[in-house]
Each structure stands twice: as C-alpha cells, then as structure tokens.
Amino acid sequence: MARQSISFTQPNDEWLKSQVDNQEYSSKSELVNDLIRQARNQQVQIDWIKAKLEKAEKSGFTNDTKSEILKQSKATLNG
C-alpha cells in the first residue's frame, strides 16, 4: 500500500479525529480511503449520466422512461 503525507485544515482534521474517536473508523487512513471510494463511485454515476445525456442529445430523444433512467442510475451507483 502506498504511503502519503497530506495536510488538513484544522476543521477537517478535527472532523477526522471525531470520526475515529466515535469509532466510526479505526484510523484516519481508513476514513480517507472510504471517502475516496465513495467519490470514485459517484464519479462512475456522473460519467454514466453524462454518457446518457450525450447519447440523448445526439439522437434527439431516448425511449427510456424517467423511472427506467433512475433505476439504471441507482444500479450503476450500487455496483
């Protein structure tokens, strides 16, 4: 595993410490890795939505209903 040295603002550092102190996470590293995973998963959904929008813009329409698009979006986000 790669080791990094990063700096946090005081409010962010206090929040990280509180999450560890409340036993939400065992360490700041675990918390930061979880936040990065969440951001990566969100990016997957954003990329999927962008691709859908670009396809729809190029074709002028989509046959998918709003509920189908929402269902597909949720499925993509949840893996």
Please give the distance of CA 2 from its chain centroid, rounded to a whole number: 21
Q: What is the C-alpha separation between 36 and 39, in angstroms, rounded?
A: 5
Tell me: pLDDT of 61 over 90. Answer: no
Average pLDDT across the chain, whole number:
90
Q: What is the C-alpha separation between 74 and 42, in angstroms, rounded?
A: 11
Q: pTM score, two decimals?
A: 0.65
Average pLDDT rounded to a whole number, residues 39-49: 93
Split at pLDDT 50, 70, 90, the class of 2 is confident
pLDDT top residue among 62 and 68 = 68
Tell me: pLDDT of 44 over 70. Answer: yes
**For 60, how many CA atoms within 13 A lie in the half-sphere containing its CB?**
0
